[in-house]
Structure 1
């Protein structure tokens, strides 16, 4: 699935209990539609995102940046400190593309491409045609 939105805060790097690093960030997507009465309804959907492939991209993912993400969505539910049930959407990102051009976009693509080249090479080494 693809989503395009703006980062709501700067990305942070988090370390799991198994010493794996993940880039955590949040994206907002604005949408609008007309209801049966013809009124324009605007809404914003927020996604909590994770990117496990490379932590190099974290410094380029800053608040307000327009990004296109490819990945999968998973729902999550929890009970808040106030005892009220809450729900959210997690987006497990497999590819990131910055929109707007400039050197920031080029640096992200270079960082991601370096990681992707390593992954593609290792997959091709085990991919025999027979």
Structure 2
């Protein structure tokens, strides 16, 4: 499966155990359509949670606003809360990330958290 969208925030890395880390991020996919019998264009934004398990260093370039093309599969998590009410969410488990457009002011070489502390946060519409 393939999806394309922009990151809604910087990617984060979470340590799962001593040897395994996962990169978590979410993307926004913008779409537009005309309802039947209307000339008005309706815009819809879909937000998708994503995970990447192959290389945690990839998080260094996955910054808010970056346009990515992802290849992978959808996973479903279903659980019950303390009251017994069922909940669920989907996550796109990507195994290949293609960066189509880097975010503005994104330093690619030698990027680390100390280099970007003085950069202003971008206000993107999603």
After TM superposition, is the score higher than 0.5?
yes
1:35 pairs with 2:35:
yes
1: CA distance between counterparts of 2:28 and 2:54? 22
1: CA distance between counterparts of 2:24 and 2:37? 40
- Determine the structure 2 residue equivalent to 1:119: none
- Please, what is the CA RMSD of the aligned residues? 2.8
1: CA distance between counterparts of 2:32 and 2:72? 23
Structure with higher helix content = 1
Q: TM-score, normalised by structure 2?
A: 0.69
- Structure 1 consecutive aligned stretches of length 4 or more whose deviation exceeds 3 Å: 75-80, 84-88
Unaligned runs of 5+ in 2: 110-126
Cα distance 1:41–1:60, how it changes in 2: closer, same or farther (>3 A)?
Answer: same
Equivalent pairs, count: 106
Tell me if the contact between 1:47 and 1:88 (Cα under 8 Å) persists in the aligned partners: no
2: CA distance between counterparts of 1:8 and 1:86? 23
Compute the displacement of 1:88 (Å).
3.4
1: CA distance between counterparts of 2:86 and 2:46? 18
